[in-house]
Amino acid sequence: MNQFNRFNLPLCLVVEEGLFEHVDETVASYLPQIKGQKTIIVTEQFLSDLYPGYLAEIQRDFKDSEIYLSEEGSFDQAMELAKHICIQNIKVVIGFGGGRVLDVAKYAAFVSKAVYICLPTTLSNDSLASPFSVLQTEGMNRKTLGCKIPTAILVDTDMIMKAPKGQTLSGIGDTISKHTALFDWQLAAKHEGKPVDDFAYAIARMAYDSVYHCDDKSLTSKTFIRILSRALVMGGLAMEIAGSSRPSSGAEHLFCHAIEEYYPQLKISHGMAVALGSVGACIFQGRDETQLIEVCKAYGIELNPAAYGITKEIFADAWMRAPETRKDRFSILSTTQLNREWLDMIYDRMAGVR
């Protein structure tokens, strides 16, 4: 870190086949100082039942270690874990899981000043390498809290291939949504009279381009898993460098927040909701949405809102309420007069994608 840069970068990013069978060796080659340190492996019951072999292996590798089962992705849980880490003098936190588990582990490691190693079991969104944790606060309310990016990120391609297809699709959705997020970031910067961080912008753009231009769009291809892993990590790094979630979050994320907050009963992942949001945001931005629709089709992302239980009424209501979900966030919605007829047309356009 120098006097101009305030950001941290992970010391290690490894994407490899069979990596979870020798986590200790990989970590030790980058972080020899953590060898023999007290470690806690944060996961959840479901994953512990699904992958007992992997967890036993990691626990064997890190001799002085224990397993902690996170039951909910809440702020209280993260604080309870941080307290345990501090009191027990634990120096290393390993997050083994998807979004919710990783957010709890990341925040607890940040609060307790422990080294955080991220072992994602799915590639469902770019929070795995971001300097933020989204945690449940009161009831269904969730808050995005600033923290530190992981010290090490280890992706086992074999593990990702075992993950449900929907999780990987969600990661693709979160990556392609940068197309509209970056446009909104530029708009906001102009409106607020602040410059866009060129380096963060370029990294986020590269994340999008790598997924968009990938020749191998098969979800079970190792080449593709590698590209998606790096794209998600790049998304996280762009946020770290920018010092905000702006490179990854624009109007499409506001639509997603509205769906999550007002229609929690819907079964739609974060990445799918932002992918749907991106098509609308792209149209509001006055740009051609064809490129986005084509890339979604190429990966098999379903763009018909009805497939997720989103009716025309819900779709229109979510867009209308989207700006309220983050009042301080300037986006294309801040200068767009939405109306029901227009939103219905967009819905029909998306429903008609084959």
Q: What is the DSSP letter of 191?
A: H
User: In the complex, what is the shortest distance from the CB of residue 174 to Zn ion, in angstroms, rounded to a whole number?
Assistant: 4
Within positions 201 to 220, which residues make up the interface with Zn ion, using CB under 5 A? Answer: none
User: In the complex, what is the shortest distance from the CB of residue 123 to Zn ion, in angstroms, rounded to a whole number?
Assistant: 12
44 touches Zn ion (CB under 5 A): no
Of residues 58 and 241, the one with the C-beta less far from Zn ion = 241
| CA of residue 77 relative to chain centroid, distance | 20
Q: With beta carbons less than 8 A apart as the criterion, state whether 95 and 42 touch.
A: yes
Strand partners for 97: 120
Query: CB under 8 Å to 215, separation ≥6 — which residues?
Result: none
Of residues 47 and 273, the one with the C-beta less far from Zn ion = 273
Contact stretch for Zn ion (CB under 5 A) within 36-44, 167-175, 212-220, 344-352: 167-175
Contact stretch for Zn ion (CB under 5 A) within 3-11, 92-100, 173-181, 282-290: 173-181
Contact stretch for Zn ion (CB under 5 A) within 16-24, 168-176, 197-205, 339-347: 168-176
User: In the complex, what is the shortest distance from the CB of residue 23 to Zn ion, in angstroms, rounded to a whole number?
Assistant: 27
CA separation for the pair 271, 301 (Å, rounded): 10
Of residues 174 and 240, the one with the C-beta less far from Zn ion = 174
What residue spans of the chain are helical by DSSP H? 23-30, 45-50, 52-61, 75-87, 99-112, 157-162, 165-176, 178-192, 198-212, 222-242, 251-262, 270-284, 290-299, 312-325, 340-351
CA separation for the pair 69, 102 (Å, rounded): 12
CA separation for the pair 333, 280 (Å, rounded): 10
CA separation for the pair 255, 78 (Å, rounded): 27
Of residues 18 and 243, the one with the C-beta less far from Zn ion = 243
User: In the complex, what is the shortest distance from the CB of residue 166 to Zn ion, in angstroms, rounded to a whole number?
Assistant: 15
Contact stretch for Zn ion (CB under 5 A) within 53-61, 172-180, 225-233, 324-332: 172-180
Q: With beta carbons less than 8 A apart as the criterion, state whether 185 and 247 touch.
A: yes
Closest CA to 154 of 233, 271, 101: 233
Q: How many residues bind Zn ion (CB under 5 A)?
A: 1
174 touches Zn ion (CB under 5 A): yes
252 touches Zn ion (CB under 5 A): no
Q: From residue 115 to residue 154, what is the string marking binding to Zn ion with x (rule CB under 5 A)?
A: ----------------------------------------
Contact stretch for Zn ion (CB under 5 A) within 171-179, 258-266, 299-307, 325-333: 171-179
Which residue lies nearest Zn ion, judged by its C-beta? 174
* Cβ atoms within 10 Å, residue 120: 30
| List of residues contacting Zn ion (CB under 5 A) | 174
